[in-house]
Amino acid sequence: MHSKAAFHFRKHLLGVCLALLSISFTVRTYAQSAANSLPAGTGRDLVAAACTQCHGLKLIVALRDGPVGWKHFVDDMILRGAQLTPQEADSVTQYLSKNFGPGTSPMQSGLKSEPLPSGDGEKLVESHCALCHDLGRITTVGRSKEEWNNTVSNMMARAGTNVATQDEILTMASYLAAHFGKKSD
Amino acid sequence: MKHLLSGLGTLGITAAAANSMAQSLAPFLPAAEDGGASASSASRSMQGTGGALLVAQLKASGIEHIFFNPSSGAAPFFDALVDEPKMHLIKALQEGALVAMADGYAKASGKTPFVICARPGFPNSMTQLYNVWKDEIPMVVAVDYVNRATLGEDGFEDADHLENIAHPITKWNWVAQSADKIPEVTRRAFKFASTMPSGPVFLAYPEDILDEEAQASVIDQAKFEVSMKVRPDPDLVEKAARMLLEAQSPLLYVGDEIVRCGAQKQVAELAELLGMPVTRDGGTIGWSKAFPTQHPLYLGTNLREMRYPAHVDVTLNLGGRLAYGERIQPGIKLIQVRMDPTNLARTAPTDVAIFGDLKFTTADLIAALRSMATADRLRQISQERAAKTHEYTTTMRKFRESIGRETWNHSPVSFERLGMELETALDKDACVVAESDSGRKMEDFMSFGGSDKQYFTTTGAALGWGLPAAFGVKLAHPDLPVVSVVGDGAFLFAGPQPLWSYARYKAPVTIIVCNNRSYNNERNRIWNIGGRQFQTGRDMTCYLGDPDIDYAKLASGFGVEGEIVAEPSQLQAALQRAKRATADGRPYLLDVHIERNGIGATSTWHPSYSIAELRQRKV
Ligand SMILES: Cc1ncc(C[n+]2csc(CCOP(=O)(O)OP(=O)(O)O)c2C)c(N)n1
Ligand SMILES: [Mg+2]
């Protein structure tokens, strides 16, 4: 670029930068650009404004959790300093559960999985667990019966009441322990 | 001396006046002339080994406790202590713990502690020395150094320029050159360490000079003290006061120097005068609670774009680090007051940078505001603002309480409930010494600052500080209840061995190990990045169970009583038992099983690997 052209280009660039800067003085840029990366809906702007004070949104967008699970996260963040009133926190929880809840494009672990072996509980695992994540996360790991029970109970509790009965939880845990148990079990 | 006195007489100076002049001049006269006898109350000449000279100077520097781990090279120093019953040796079994003990002691007492350890032990002290450095805490850390005759020959415990490894995290380091210089370099070390902005210094005493006989002057430290109670530039105070007065939405930001300068009362008064909401650094940054956490103007952690109060136009930083310049949004005017001119205006562009004592500066700001505006106008300004903030903080306090109550029956116990139970159990004058990462949220349920509990932690976040530091706090405040709250991870970085010091020196402290069998918050942060561990749901690094550690048993091995608190319902009774034990003069440890929380918290899976299974032979 010739020096004169370069000068004009730089001047132009400077103008653009100044214009952008003046916007950034008036608009809350962080929150604004964060909001653009989230699905539309009530609560989106609150998530963008409150959550990005301390961390990015990458995890929020990648995670799947039920309404109880999302509420735990939001509560935890309030205790760590997030500035959301009770009504706002409610709205944030609802937004997150709706947009990143069970059934909304499950998380992909990238772990290859064989189809589930048949057995009592197979269908339950498929219909419950696979709502939030792929099966690779289950079939490539070994856990004891107690561990499976804790894991399944925790996930079902996070998904909300009445998602699975106590019997169904036990059936799933037994099935998983039988097929994906620990060597020592 | 006689010649001098008679000479003064011929000048028409009375004998009494001449005598007192001679006394004040005495430190500068040759020591031999007065036969080594004490010539003034502040200075005396002394003959002895380098070790004995060091002891004498430490005494003159006001040292009562020597934080130590022994070494043969420093034998003459320890020998000299045999005849000094008023100087007390406090031993730690690992040098990191030693320095953390001294840090707790310094933070609680405001004094400059003296630490001495073996030179190969010095690298052990570095994690905690780094914490001391980060918090600008005064401390003198010394070692016995290689004998000058063999120095540099790469012999026993000789590494070239050991003192240099202290360089980036000390204000000054020095190797004493001769026995007669020991008192002088020691005084200098104390002066450098304690003059604000204070910090640790490193001293090395070669073994041979600790053993050598010499004559030297031992002088009271007071003769080298520099008052840093500096009044601020009045022009800057006026400018700052005007900005604050004209601000529509000012925000006060508080930090540790308020505590160092004892300015808490003035700072609360200033906040109230203008109805300013108050914040502080978040996370581990800041070792104290400089503002009462239950105060209706107190918001808590400072955030990048505060939603409340909205549209901050002036931020006043009183004695805070103000890390992360990005937190000061463009357009916000920034006033900063610090005792540390180097770090004042270090990162964020600052409109008014005031160097001065926090107490004086805050008082001067108050006076300037009062001179610029009538009481009525000030009331007008503060009333509406304060009322709005009160409303907000009341709403949020109730909200936090309701969140906490929802976890009441969690088992293992939640940090929320632990906070509430501690708030019930602890006396108002208790000192809480905290090093618990995910446990920081229990602080939401407790009251600190003002007339409430004192709070101590470390900014540097080099774990292993909390357990020994609480010992140091108790040493400084034997008459206050002290509670050490440490994560299981943090506890293990300190090693169990500080428990030995607790038992040996009968330090009645309640030690609470927040046992969640995890580097819990570390896992949260790691998964938060959203990488493979998050995607696959595998915690490769942070689970601490398998084996599950029994901290009560561990304590018992060190002669400290303790118990496991596995159920939330047992907690209050256990806290009361701890209270009774400490009242009886004994330390007491509670191994509190705590809920893991956050992402991936329930999983106990961890990569398994067995060396035993690698074997081809059963050996
Ligand atoms: C000396 C040291 N080593 C490593 C770290 C990294 N680190 C940060 S937090 C953490 C785990 C803390 O675990 P714990 O004390 O149990 O706290 P929790 O999050 O479980 O409450 C580690 C290892 C550190 N801060 N300091
Ligand atoms: Mg832990």
Check A109 against B597: CB less than 8 A apart: no
Give me the mean pLDDT over the B134-153 stretch: 96
Which residues on chain A are in Cβ contact (under 8 Å) with B307?
49-50, 83-84
Q: pLDDT tens digits, residue range B519-535?
A: 999 999 999 999 999 99
Contacts of B381 (CB under 8 A, 6+ apart): B245, B274, B275, B373
Give the per-residue pLDDT at B2. Answer: 39
Which residues on chain B are in Cβ contact (under 8 Å) with A76?
441, 597-598
Total beta-carbon pairs less than 8 A apart between chain A and chain B: 96
The band of A184, judged by pLDDT with boundaries at 50, 70 and 90, is: low
Q: Write down the CATH number for the domain with range B408-593.
A: 3.40.50.970
Which structure tokens are listed for B205?
Answer: 């005493």
Give me the mean pLDDT over the B576-594 stretch: 98
Check A79 against B444: CB less than 8 A apart: yes
Which residues on chain B are in Cβ contact (under 8 Å) with A85?
395-396, 399
**Would the pLDDT of B366 be above 80?**
yes
**Would the pLDDT of B167 be above 80?**
yes
What residue ranges of chain A are covered by domains with CATH 1.10.760? 122-180
The CA distance from A129 to B387, in Å, is 49
Cβ–Cβ < 8 Å for B97, B75? no
The band of B147, judged by pLDDT with boundaries at 50, 70 and 90, is: very high
Q: pLDDT tens digits, residue range B91-108?
A: 999 999 999 999 999 999
The CA distance from A52 to A55, in Å, is 5
Give the per-residue pLDDT at A20. Answer: 39
Per-position b or e across B474-501, b if 16+ CB within 10 A of its CB: bbbbeeebbbbbbbbbbbbbbbbebbbb
Chain B, nearest residue to A58 by Cα = B530
The CA distance from B268 to A47, in Å, is 33
**Would the pLDDT of B581 be above 80?**
yes
Distance B203 CA to ligand 2 centre (A): 36
Check A24 against B330: CB less than 8 A apart: yes
Distance B272 CA to ligand 1 centre (A): 37
Give me the mean pLDDT over the A133-139 stretch: 94
Could you state, in order of their start, the residue ranges of all structural domains in chain B?
A: 1-30, 44-149+156-221, 234-402, 408-593
Cβ–Cβ < 8 Å for B271, B278? yes
Give me the mean pLDDT over the B158-184 stretch: 95
> Which ligand has its closest atom nearest to the C-alpha of B96?
1
Give the per-residue pLDDT at A162. Answer: 83
Strand order in the sheet with B561-565: B454-456, B431-435, B482-487, B510-515, B588-593, B561-565
What mean pLDDT is reported for chain B? 93
Give the per-residue pLDDT at B41. Answer: 80
Chain A, nearest residue to B527 by Cα = A59
- C-alpha count within 13 angstroms, C-beta hemisphere, residue A135: 17
CATH fold label, B234-402: Rossmann fold (3.40.50)
Check B395 against A53: CB less than 8 A apart: no
Of B313, B344, B334, B349, nearest in space to B232 by CA? B344
What is the DSSP secondary-structure string of B209-264? HHHSEEEEEEE-GGGG-----PPPPHHHHHHHHHHHHH-SSEEEEE-THHHHTT-H
Distance B517 CA to ligand 1 centre (A): 12
Cβ–Cβ < 8 Å for B142, B182? no
Distance B150 CA to ligand 2 centre (A): 47
The CA distance from B568 to B123, in Å, is 41
Cβ–Cβ < 8 Å for B277, B251? yes
CATH fold label, B44-149+156-221: Rossmann fold (3.40.50)
Check A79 against B597: CB less than 8 A apart: no
CATH fold label, A122-180: Cytochrome Bc1 Complex; Chain D, domain 2 (1.10.760)
Identify the residue whose tokens are 């053993």: B211
Which residues on chain A are in Cβ contact (under 8 Å) with B400?
78-79
- Contact of B598 with chain A, judged by CB distance below 8 Å, is answered with yes
**Would the pLDDT of B364 be above 80?**
yes
The CA distance from B250 to B309, in Å, is 9
Considering the entire predicted model, what is its pTM? 0.91
